[in-house]
Structure 1
Amino acid sequence: MTLRFDGKIAIVTGGGSGIGAAISRQLSGEGAEVVVADLNPEAAEGIVDEIRAKGGRARHFTVDVADAGAVEQLVGFALSECGGLNLAVNNAGIEGVRKPTGDYPLDNWERVIDVNLTGTFHCMKYEIAAMLGRGGGAIVNVTSILASVGLPTASAYTAAKHGVVGLTKSAAIEYARMGIRINTVGPGWIETPLLSEYAELAKTRRLEALQPMGRRGTPEEVAALACFLLSDEASFITGSYHLVDGAYTAH
């Protein structure tokens, strides 16, 4: 594997499991020092230990991205402890309850929006400021296929993910001439802990039947695209929304 990120410093939120963990591993394997940020400190520490055992450089940081002050501290940690910030993957997210829109609990709506949409804004706000101080960088926001299609009983999650795509596009235009590229990746049905929410559906293999490729994706397949978008190979790509869904949304 080439060291595309040698000497780079990266933050990955939601880095303690699933897609975030796979991205953290690949960034480290390609030379980056990674701040694995997660609400679950044990999960983040586990990924850091795994990376270090393979000779990589990583640190963990406990953060709730819905808390702007905590996110500011996270970015400050990367600056003070690692020496800067070049790359960021804003992946932290929650699904929320499954209820029709008319019955959706207000407190759950607010929490899903706070984490998935406002949390991404918090991250970008402080990451961009840090990157401008170093002459630029690259950001990938992890959204979902539900940033382009709907899903019954998932109104909060769907609204938040649509919002992240709009946020990404606006910020990408703002900073295109300042050396910061910002893109978003939309995973489909990927084998992650979040998919456990659909365990009954998965057991019936209905998920596989919905996939033109006949299978679910892996976190590593999403990580491969995210890391490409962070790399200099994607130097003319910004403001884009890229699906990793096995043609699910092509129906």
Structure 2
Amino acid sequence: MGSLAGKIALVTGASRGIGRGVAQKLAQEGALVAVHFRENESAAGETLGAIRDSGGRAFGIRAELGAPDGVETLYDRFDAGVARHGMDPGLDVLVNNAGVSGSARIDEVTPELFDRIFGVNTKSLVFLTQQALKRMRDGGRIINISSAATRIAYPESLVYSMSKGAVDTFTLALAKEVGARAITVNSVRPGFVETDMNAGKRRTGEAAADLASWSVFNRLGQPSDVADIVAFLASESSRWVTGQCIDASGGSRL
């Protein structure tokens, strides 16, 4: 039996990249995993297929975070999915992974870009977590995916970096708020991970090598590198860790 046997987990933005890796890992550890996606049903199907082929349990949830009814739609479908799998209502692990990026230096930032990034990366995260806490059992886990851009200056993506800084502050404050319920709240800060989000930054071998050189291990991260850390934070083994921002950048820019 895995460390999460009998638990229910929700992973936002789980159709590809880090979210997919996290969903697969939590299912491997025994959790029933709700795989949230925005619109790429084909990619979400691949995530679900990989989980089920490995003997895990999962179901998909389509909802657009940032839309006026996005959070409500997500939880309506989440509750229905849990019921279909014959489990008692509730939630044990929330992984706030869904996010959008946008390269823009200070002179390139527009109100539209700012609102889009903060709408998904921070506003939706707050209200999604607010509703999650109404369902979460005592002793639950909240894990927010942040970014090493909160530690390493990255002016090329100013607003994205700001949004992740807000996530880290939210993590710290919420950890104190819910500590009495033995719920832990932590964030994980990946560096450059080989996903679709940064595919444009590594179109050539030289560009990929440059990104890899940020890490002391001289390689790009893989979704599994981050997923293993999330699985630890989701487990009972992490019960004495809360309010922390854990670097998962392979020692980038040390």
1:221 is aligned to 225
- Secondary structure of 2:125's counterpart equals helix
Distance 2:210 2:48 in 1: 35
1:189 and 1:217 in contact (8 A); partners too = yes
2:198 is aligned to 195
1:140 is aligned to 143
CA offset digits 1:199-250 (Å, max 9, x no partner): 2476432112232211111110100000100110000111100011111142
State the identity as a percent: 29
Point out 4+ residue stretches in structure 1 off by more than 6 angstroms.
Answer: none
Distance 2:66 2:176 in 1: 24
Question: What amino acid sits opposite 1:128 in the alignment?
Answer: L
2:61 and 2:78 in contact (8 A); partners too = no
Q: Map 1:83-122 onto structure 2 (within 5 A).
A: 83-96=89-102, 98-122=103-127
2:246 is aligned to 242
Question: What amino acid sits opposite 2:97 in the alignment?
Answer: N
Distance 1:115 1:126 in 2: 16
Distance 2:173 2:72 in 1: 21
Distance 2:190 2:129 in 1: 20
Range that drifts further, 85-94 or 197-206: 197-206
> In structure 1, which of residues 91, 108, 124 is the aligned counterpart of residue 129 of structure 2?
124
CA offset digits 1:59-94 (Å, max 9, x no partner): 001122223632233234333431321111010111
- Secondary structure of 1:141's counterpart equals strand
Question: What amino acid sits opposite 1:12 in the alignment?
Answer: V
2:14 and 2:98 in contact (8 A); partners too = yes
- Secondary structure of 1:86's counterpart equals strand
Give the paired residue count: 246
1:9 and 1:85 in contact (8 A); partners too = yes
TM-score with structure 2 setting the length: 0.91
Q: CA RMSD for the aligned pairs?
A: 1.6
- Residues 129 and 152 of structure 1: is their aligned pair in 2 closer, same or farther, counting only changes over 3 Å? same
Question: What amino acid sits opposite 2:51 in the alignment?
Answer: I
TM-score with structure 1 setting the length: 0.92
